[in-house]
Amino acid sequence: MTTSFGDTLENATSAASLAHSRAVSQKIEKAIAEDPSEFRVLTGDRPTGNLHIGHYFGSLQNRVRLQQAGVDTWLVIADFQVITDRDGVGPIKERVYSLTTDYLAVGIDPQKATIFPHSQVEGLNQLMLPFLSLVTDAELRRNPTVKAELEATGNRPMSGLLLTYPVHQAADILFCKANIVPVGKDQLPHLEQARVIADRFESRFGHPAGSDKPVFARPQALLSEAEMVLGLDGTKMSKSKGNTIELRMSADETARRIRKAVTDSERFITFDPENRPEVSNLLRIAGMCQNRDPRDIAAEIGNGGAGMLKKVVTESLNELLAPVRARRAELEKNQDFIREVLRHGIEVANERAEQTQREVREAMNMVY
């Protein structure tokens, strides 16, 4: 019995698949340590708001680590994807600049990384045409990513862009020949989509003229084991909920936000994620800031209660983020530099996209 494409995506987060992804990730990490020049990483964000500590602990720290290890790093600012579930773009230019500033403030080196908004890379977006011929409407509607994004919109009518959202993500990954993509386990279907499209393109169209290699690298997941940081209200941290600590916030703003964080009625502080998720989340944040076990921090606070817990979290976060915020403040004074970083990234991305498009047209016998 043949497994369908939709089943493949829905099985991407099964226990067996997760175990396989973890094993592959471990091999990739070892290979990076031996020769990072073999790898190119693609990751990025939608410019729908300011980056927060969930991004910092969940992905930004890892991006800096991979870059420092010598991996060729590409960061896509997915500005077209803002309108997958929105009626307008909002202050998108300011947000693109803010994202770029955050990237540099946390340690991304623009001399080593390529930072670009994908709306500015024509060859990337042109890949949507051949890629859409490789998937069906039914497959896209069964895609877990599409289902999740649709649910997040309150089941408003699905736009064509939302339906093809995973295909556009595949174009982001494949156009630059990225071969590793850092993801959490809930994002594995994103990457499976890209692999299926790469395989189908090769099967249907073959290789560029005179080459025995496929056009697209088959990207692998570098599975992140970072624990999810909840918002200050105990729900998923989200830019739209106002339950975040943004990287750009001041120390005083951070303190005010944390003072309002949800805890519970028990005074004695313990780390118990199942029964005390809000308290445990704050302990987890302090633990990540201090690089310590949250249980040890809980034991130190003990009868100090929620007040002491929030004080520890505030001090830990502000100490960790102080150099990031100082660097960010300096960068904000130099918008010409931010523009130059983006212009350079756009130029590099377009050169790569044009080369990929030449290979695509050759493989499709569309060189006239």
Condensed to tens digits (0 to 9), the pLDDT of residues 348-359 reads 999 999 999 999
* pLDDT for 44: 96
- All structural domains of the chain, each given as residue ranges with its CATH number in brackets, are 5-226+335-363 (3.40.50.620), 251-332 (1.10.240.10)
Q: What is the mean pLDDT of the segment spanning 174-187?
A: 91
- Quick one: how far is CA 287 from the chain centroid? 22
Nearest to 201 by CA among 128, 118, 113, 131: 131
Condensed to tens digits (0 to 9), the pLDDT of residues 120-150 reads 999 999 999 999 999 999 999 988 888 887 8
* pLDDT for 227: 75
Condensed to tens digits (0 to 9), the pLDDT of residues 70-108 reads 999 999 999 999 998 788 888 999 999 999 999 999 999
Q: For the whole model, what pTM was predicted?
A: 0.92
* pLDDT for 300: 97
